[in-house]
Structure 1
Amino acid sequence: MTLALMMALPVLAVAAEEEKTADAAQTMTEVKVKSTRIQDTPNKGYQATKTRVGKTYQDPQDVPQAVTTLTRELLHDQQVGSLREALRNVVGLSVNAAEGGRAGDNFNLRGFYTFGDIYLDNMRDTAQYNRETFNLEQVDVLRGSAAMLFGRGQAGGVINQVSKMAELRDKNTLTASGGEYDYHQFTGDFNKQLTETAAIRVNVMDRYEETYRKNPTTGDRPSFDRKGIAISFGAGIGTENEFFLNHAYTQTRDVPDFGIRFGTNKRPLSDSPNGRSDRTFWGSNNNFDDSDTRITTGIFTHKFDDDTQLRTQLRHANYKRSYWAKTPGTTLPLDNDRLGGNVTRIMDYETLNLQSDFSTKFELAGMKHQLISGIEYLKEDSYRSTLQPYDPVTGALYTQTGNALTNAILANPNGVAYNRHFANVTATPTKFNADNYALYIQDSVEVIKNWTVLAGIRRDKMDADYSSLTSPKLKYYENSYRTGLSWQPNADRHYYLTFSDAFSPTADLYQLTVQPLPPERARTLELGTKWLFLDGDLSVRTAVFTTTKDWERNTDLESTASILTKRRRTNGVEFEVTGKITDRWDMFAGFALLDARIINVADNYVAGVLTPSDVRLEGQRARNTPIGTFNLWTTYALNEAWKVGGGVEAKGERYAYNPSATDASASFTNGHFNPNAAPGYARVDMMAAYEQPKWAVRLNVKNLLNKEYYDAVYDNGGLVTPGNKRQAIITTEYKF
């Protein structure tokens, strides 16, 4: 019933608007009537009917590329709080653990990194922080190379977060949740219509939880302590001149967990005589992961007519972060904070982003065209260093360097602490600033009935300065392309063949090479089909693809060899089904099979000499890329009030090793490739809800079978992070 009411609200709003227009017409007052647009239509539960991941609002059915959309309804039923947890629903995706300086959200998609491919409302959001979902309407994952649409990036695809926007209605929702491991969360979503065309919306969130892992000496546990507020003001909503001003602030005060190490058997360390196990947390409450993120965006859309519009976004964002984490050791006890095993970082990243897109539809020479063109400017200013160490008892700073610093700390029984606000006075910071410019155009032409040819090109320029003595400057000009052929014999069928590419420059995202090397290049060829069944309520898509990437960079900022592989390829197949099987039965499911291989090993400069990696790695399976992934989530409404559901997330074995090693003997046993590996797993969740129009109560049980599993891998081979054990959460919801 609740879902039906939510789906009916936009219809009622349009009817109310028409009634107001009729009344106004009787008094001879001119009123602009809001037209029916795709962005006004609600998603069908778990099935998405709208996306802007292709630059304009479209039905995902019409995008000639694989798209997975996680709707608000899906994340609501699963009691999802973070982007990382939301993306568990995406097959072909795995999680990278957080060592080497690239802490925060970091994923592999189709076997390739996405650390440069996370976006917020189609604008770059590549900072290293942990993202929340309280202010997200949906999450779109566009698979395959996407540089023509989004600029420099990786090969696996784009993860685009879609913000909640002010709406022309009054609607408020409060939720309160509590559960095991001290879980508690409060959220509020308040929308107020101010005038016939203006509204304001406020979303707030406060969440805290711990995990089952514990330091056996102190009793401390890893924890997530996060808060946020987001405000959206809209004026002229639904008119020919529409303006939104959005601001979001999120705060993180976590106690980070860097997991456990692999054992001599190349698997995660298990129970041992000295008490070490997957339950052993090597950090303490003295560790911290603090971040403050502020993002302000202005969006202006002018509609010339129903088919032509100009949309311009201007954003200023500031990302501040500092953390101190303990890496796991191999022996107990854990009662000190010595130098060894400490990872610290302080970062300040600021961006100014201007993006303007012009889209139109027209007929020329008897053919229908859908044209998209645009310009983009991005200013980046980044600072990164280590934190200042000091004596936790006396407060005295450690100002030595190198071995002298190590000896001074080890000689002090008080150990070491780190100031979360100040950079190390003896360290040399890494600084980076860049001006990025782009110009792009794409046309989709229906050459004959139901057959459409797509062609697009983008030109990117980057002018960057670095603090590195070996690579102080970077200038580049790169083109990227997107082309394809679509056949849509009717509204329920879409068959397509698409080619797209991606690039990243030699020093992008602070990955500096000792000497200039060619930029990353990736090419994706994808053949796919999309179908709609049951009067459009159930969508099914399949895709087969091949992606080849040259001069792949290392995701680890601390790596001395920034080239990971010279050439790598992933061949794969995907299948997804989403929507309603019956009026009461919803489903979101998929599986992916990936064959990711190293074709040519890396070349890196070592002491000024170009040195190849171990050639035995050629032909081996790529790291942190399971051969198979499977996801299922389904719910069934027993009656108008009760709904039950559940699902499973399954991943195959994932390797963890260094492909750029000049000697990879540690990854071979008796001549056979045997690297560190996180075992495959299947995690089962369930839910039950009692829903009324004004209120609801929901029970979620995560990891129902209390399985020990490892959901994040530090791909250079050292660490793996366990997922949480069984956790029951009760949520109450009130609408007014």
Structure 2
Amino acid sequence: MRPIAVMVSLLSLGAQMAHAEGEDQKAQTLSEVNVKSQRIQDLPNKGYQASKTRVGKTYQDPQDVPQAVTTLTKELLHDQQIGSLREALRNVVGLSVNAAEGGRAGDNFNLRGFYTFGDMYLDNMRDTAQYNRETFNLEQVDVLRGSAAMLFGRGQAGGVINQVSKMAELRDKNVVTGSLGEYDYHQFTADFNKQLTETAAVRINLMDRHEETYRKNPATGDRPEFDRQGVAISFGAGIGTENEFFLNHIYTQTRDVPDFGVRFVATHPLNNSANGRTDRTFWGSNNNFDDSDTRVTTGIFTHKFAEDTQLRTQLRHGNYKRGYWAKTPADELPLANDRVGGNVTRTLEYDTVNFQSDFSTKFDLAGMKHAVVTGIEYLKEDSYRHSLQPYDPVTGAIYTQTGNALTTAIRNNPNGVGFNRHFASITGIPVSFNADNYAVYVQDSIEFIPNWTVLAGVRRDELHATYQSATSPKLSYGENSYRSGLSWQPNPDRHYYATWSDSFSPTADLYQLTAIPQDPERSKTFELGSKWLFMDGDLAVRTALFTATKYWERSTDLEATSAILTRKRRTNGFELEVTGKVTDRWDVFAGIALLDARVLKAAQNVAAGNVYSYADARVEGQRARNTPIATVNVWTTYALTDAWKVGGGVEVKGERYAYNPSSANLSGSFTGGHFNPNSAPGYARVDLMAAYEQPKWAVRLNVKNLLNKEYYDAVYDNGGLVTPGNRRQAIVTTEYKF
């Protein structure tokens, strides 16, 4: 059955359920199961402190999860006036942004020193497509740190980023907002929720946002742009009963002008050059584009057999279309010899069908308390991508590209003209990827003596893929993943734990570029942690001390001809976070992460004919790329009165290296016997806010980058480019509730 037909059938089922419930009052008041099972789901967040998460497969208080969890609540995102997931994740310590080129352009992050492009999820279902995500339809964002393949399937050592959608609720509530700000910032959002019956409701969220940056093409005046729209619909029937159904659909559209930043010169970002190029120089134009259309439809059915026993099944169809033509910046050379830089082009479509079914129950056996979670999963992936070329739509003439420079007629640099989406056509042979993924898992948490719990879980993943590739047309993997831990909770306000978990990621994740199939990546994480609650549970403090080791690390750039980066890499680290209410009027969200990320064994690459080559051995023992030693985030607000609230925060990141660890010769990065690669300097960004809030309306002022600092937000994986963050920006937002 086609996915859309399945969704229509589910919607019809939900409508019949809603009608039947309206006819039969007895079915509306089932039993105390409904009240008990909703206790965690319906518990509101305490400002910036989350009270619920599903990253452990079932609803839990984050206090009870034996693994480090950071949750960004909608209250935090609201106060900070955040529109994109990328901006939201600034709040997560130990996380940095990759300015990915080519195959991984889009939301791309490093967490605990390891990339996360295979670890993006939407409502616990894989969301690894290459696109830029928005927050208008998010209830919260959960970041589960450490290896998590037993819970989520193939993944990395850093952790999982799970977006939690807004769902239909049993109440009438409507909120609209309008914002205006510098750099042509304007945004409109709307959140409409309507209760239809005693157990059915519908919710609609809308968004339209436009924004530019301070960088400008000196010849044309063009700037990078973010132009995004979205609509999300959630229909729920049987809400709060033993048979609960949701049908959700989200569509987002981007029409951006992409920015590939600046190059490094003498190991530092190009700035104040003799040719007048600075961090303000934008090499692209309005003729460049990054267009995407994302459609995701999900049906969720939950049957509650008893108070602590339920079956939750999800079926999703996702379609992701994207095309972009971006301009890379030029090198720093005399103007007459200036090399124009390259053009990164792509058009792609990624189509998925995902089925998950999770069964959870609690019971006593042999004098011990058990909490069992087991499930199955199937994921179908179809991906196609092409390159683009410029052409004249009137004459049909195809322009050529030589090296990194296009013909003079279509040169796209600060002294030339460009081309746009209307002048691009598909070229070359498409690269295709088709895969079937199967998984089964089981986990048991056993309280073997009072307050002491042991955790054990295992998952089996099978992946079978075919490629349009001469080197590796077929790949097949079968891998086990494990999770174990020991917890001591002497009382509800204290939790001490030790956990061990692992992850795997096959080279079959979207593409296989090695000459012969390689073993999958493996990651292992050991973590000691503690979680405390203070102020009657209103203030949460967590700590984590961990070591994470990754073997056979793969390239994050799908254009690379060598897919192996390092044979062994490790991050040792410490994290401390404080979230919640210090007093009834004082909220805080703060954290610090200290990371020591090192390359332990250099890359080993294989070419056709089993010809092996090795990376520069001097990289062993050096700091890993794009992983600052220290990151600090602080955000706090204080209610001066019942109406006035003020707040602010600072984001601090240390220096981040930018280099390709698989390079056979890193001589340029070793000077005076010391490792001195390209590096993005550390920075501290300060933000402020002030708000006047009434029950029905509010006005808020946000000032981002208050001190107008030059800082570099994202680092390109292989070390050639770095992208500046925006300068000072004031935004005024009005909000109306009815």
Report the TM-score when normalising by structure 1.
Answer: 0.93
Task: Please say if residues 331 and 341 of structure 2, whose CA atoms lie closer than 8 Å, have aligned partners that are also in contact.
Answer: no
Structure 1 counterpart of 2:210, which letter?
Y
The answer to whether the 8 A contact 1:154-1:522 is kept is yes
Residue aligning to 1:569: 570
Distance 1:680 1:339, change over 3 A: closer
Residues 1:129 and 2:127 aligned together: no
Give the corresponding residue for 1:523.
Answer: 524
**Corresponding residue of 2:407:** 409
- Against the structure 1 CA distance between its residues 615 and 331, is the aligned structure 2 distance closer, same or farther, given a 3 Å change threshold? closer
Partner of 2:30 in structure 1? 32
Name the residue aligned to 1:371: 372
Aligned in 2, Cα 1:333/1:235: closer, same or farther, shift over 3 Å? farther
Where do residues 531-610 of structure 1 align in structure 2 (5 Å cutoff)?
531-606=532-607, 608=609, 609-610=611-612
Mean Cα deviation higher: 543-552 or 427-436:
427-436
Candidates 612, 615, 618, aligned match of 1:613? 615
Q: CA deviation at 1:169?
A: 0.1
C-alpha displacement at 1:389, in angstroms? 2.0
Q: Deviations over 1:400-444 (max 9, x none)?
A: 6x85x989834778977365696533x122110000000000000
Q: CA deviation at 1:275?
A: 1.3
Task: Report the Cα distance in structure 2 between the residues aligned to 1:593 and 1:339, rounded to whole angstroms.
Answer: 39
Q: Provide Cα deviations, 1:71-104, integer angstroms capped at 9, x if missing partner.
A: 0000000000000000000000000003132100
Counterpart in the other structure of 2:163: 161
- Trace 1:70-89 onto structure 2 (pairs within 5 A): 70-89=72-91
Residue pair 2:100, 2:717 contacting (<8 A) in 1 also: no
Write the distance in 1 (CA, Å) between the matches of 2:418 and 2:534. 62
**Matched residue type, 2:233:** I
Say what the alpha-carbon RMSD is for the aligned residues.
Answer: 2.3
Report the alpha carbon displacement of residue 340 of structure 1 after superposing the two structures with TM.
4.6
Q: Find the aligned partners of 2:525 and 2:335 in 1 and give their Cα distance.
A: 48
- Selected match of 1:50 from 43, 49, 52: 52
- Displacement after TM superposition at 1:397 (Å): 2.0
The CA deviation at 1:506 is 2.5
Runs of 5+ in structure 2 lacking a partner? 1-20
2:662 to 660, 685, 697: 660
Distance 2:410 2:527 in 1: 60
**3-state secondary structure, aligned to 1:616:** helix
Cα distance between partner residues in 2 of 1:31 and 1:670: 77
Q: Deviations over 1:376-413 (max 9, x none)?
A: 00000000111132147854124x6x85x989834778
Mark the CA change 1:638 to 1:320 in structure 2 (over 3 Å): closer, same or farther.
same
Corresponding position of 1:11: none
Determine the C-alpha separation between the residues in 2 that align with 1:455 and 1:569. 24
Contact 2:173 2:194 in 1 (8 A): yes
Structure 2: distance between partners of 1:411 and 1:58: 60
Aligned partner of 2:35: which letter? S
Contact 2:513-2:562 at 8 Å conserved across structures: no
Q: Give the Cα separation in 1 of the matches to 2:284 and 2:294.
A: 25
Matched, 1:321 2:319: no
- Identify the residue that residue 17 of structure 2 maps to in structure 1: none
- 1:514 has 2:518 as partner: no
- Summarize the alignment of residues 278-357 of structure 1 with structure 2, pairs less than 5 Å apart: 278-330=279-331, 340-357=341-358
Aligned pairs for 1:582-731 within 5 A? 582-606=583-607, 608=609, 609-731=611-733
The answer to whether 1:451 aligns with 2:459 is no
- In structure 1, C-alpha distance between the alignment counterparts of 2:129 and 2:639, rounded to whole Å: 40
Unaligned 5+ segments in structure 1 are 1-20
Q: CA, structure 1 residues 412+270, in 2 after alignment: closer, same or farther (shift >3 Å)?
A: closer
Question: What code does the residue aligned with 1:310 have?
Answer: L
TM superposition shift of 1:715? 2.4
What letter is aligned with 1:32?
A: L
Which one-letter code corresponds to 1:35 in the other structure?
A: V
Amino acid aligned to 1:409: T
* Identical amino acids, percent of aligned pairs: 77
Structure-1 residue corresponding to 2:3: none
Q: Which amino acid aligns with 1:616?
A: R
Q: CA deviation at 1:604?
A: 0.3
The within-5 A match list for 1:439-478 is: 439-478=440-479
The aligned length equals 709
What one-letter code is carried by the residue in structure 1 that aligns with 2:736? Y
> Structure 1 residues 639, 333: CA separation in 2 closer, same or farther (over 3 Å shift)?
farther
1:468 corresponds to which letter in structure 2? Answer: S
Q: 8 Å contact 1:271–1:277 — kept in the other structure? A: yes
Deviation at residue 338 of structure 1 after TM alignment = 10
Do the aligned partners of 1:48 and 1:60 also contact (CA within 8 Å) in 2? yes
**1:396 aligned partner:** 397
- Distance in 2 (CA, whole Å) between partners of 1:78 and 1:423 is 40
Other structure's SS at 2:312 match: strand
Moved more, 515-524 or 281-290: 515-524
For 2:708, the aligned partner's letter is N
Amino acid at match of 1:81: G
Residue 545 of structure 1 contacts residue 573 of structure 1 at CA under 8 Å; is this kept in 2? yes
CA deviations 1:312-345 (Å, max 9, x no partner) are 000000000000010000359999x998511101
Q: For the structure 1 residues 607 and 169, does the alpha-carbon distance in structure 2 shift closer, same or farther, using more than 3 Å as the test?
A: same
Partner of 1:7: none
74-83 vs 270-279, which moves further: 270-279
* Aligned-pair CA distance for 1:29: 8.3
In structure 1, give the amino acid aligned to 2:343. Answer: N
Question: Which secondary structure state, in structure 1, belongs to the residue aligned with residue 63 of structure 2?
Answer: helix
Q: Distance in 2 between matches of 1:436 and 1:226?
A: 32
* CA–CA distance in structure 1, aligned partners of residues 158 and 551 of structure 2: 13
Q: Take 1:518 and 1:422, find their aligned partners in 2: how far apart are those partners? A: 38
SS of residue matched to 1:149? helix
Give the distance between the partners of 1:111 and 1:85, measured in 2 at CA.
19
Task: Return the alpha-carbon distance in structure 2 between the equivalents of residues 54 and 688 of structure 1.
Answer: 36
409 and 471 in structure 1: CA distance in 2 versus 1, 3 angstrom threshold: same
- TM-score when normalising by structure 2: 0.93
> Structure 2 counterpart of 1:111, which letter?
G
Q: Which amino acid aligns with 1:31?
A: T
Partners of 1:538 and 1:651 in 2: CA distance: 25
Match of 2:179 in 1: 177
Matched residues in 1 for 2:406 and 2:271: separation?
Answer: 34
- The answer to which of 561-570 and 268-277 deviates more is 268-277
**What amino acid is the match of 2:219?**
T
Distance 2:277 2:252 in 1: 35
Q: SS in structure 1 opposite 2:102?
A: coil
Alignment match, 1:362? 363
Q: Structure 1 stretch 718-727 or stretch 33-42: which is displaced more?
A: 33-42
Compute the displacement of 1:274 (Å): 1.7
**Structure 1 residues 284-329: Cα deviation after superposition (integer angstroms, max 9, x where no partner):** 0000000000000000000001100000000000000000010000
| Closer, same or farther: CA 408–305 of 1 in aligned 2, 3 Å | closer
**Structure 1 position 381 matched with structure 2 position 382:** yes
1:293–1:548 CA distance, 2 compared to 1 (3 A): same
1:562 Cα deviation from its structure 2 partner: 0.6
| SS of equivalent to 2:592 | strand
The one-letter code sitting in structure 1 at the alignment partner of 2:397 is: A
- Structure 2 residue 256 is the aligned partner of structure 1 residue 254: yes
Tell me the SS of whatever aligns to 1:397.
coil
Q: Are the counterparts in 2 of residues 251 and 292 from structure 1 also a CA contact under 8 Å?
A: yes
Asked if structure 1 preserves the Cα contact closer than 8 Å seen for 2:287 and 2:420, the reply is no
Write out per-residue CA displacement over residues 214-261 of structure 1, whole angstroms, 9 at most, x where no aligned residue. Answer: 000000000000000000000000000000000000000000000000
State the alpha-carbon separation in 1 of the partners of residues 206 and 333 from structure 2: 42
Relative distance call for 1:241 and 1:620 in structure 2 (3 A) is same
Contact kept? 1:389, 1:416, Cα under 8 Å: no
Does the C-alpha gap of structure 1 residues 507 and 28 become closer, same or farther in structure 2, counting only changes over 3 Å? closer
Is 1:216–1:334's contact at 8 Å kept on the other side of the alignment?
A: no
Residues 461-484 of structure 1 deviation map (CA, whole Å, 9 limit, x = unaligned): 001001110011000110000000
Query: Offset of 1:507 from its aligned partner?
Result: 2.5
| Distance in 2 (alpha carbons) for counterparts of 1:434 and 1:637 | 52
Between stretches 572-581 and 385-394, larger displacement belongs to: 385-394
Q: Partner amino acid for 1:498?
A: T
Partner SS for 1:35 = helix
CA distance in 1, matches of 2:228, 2:339: 28
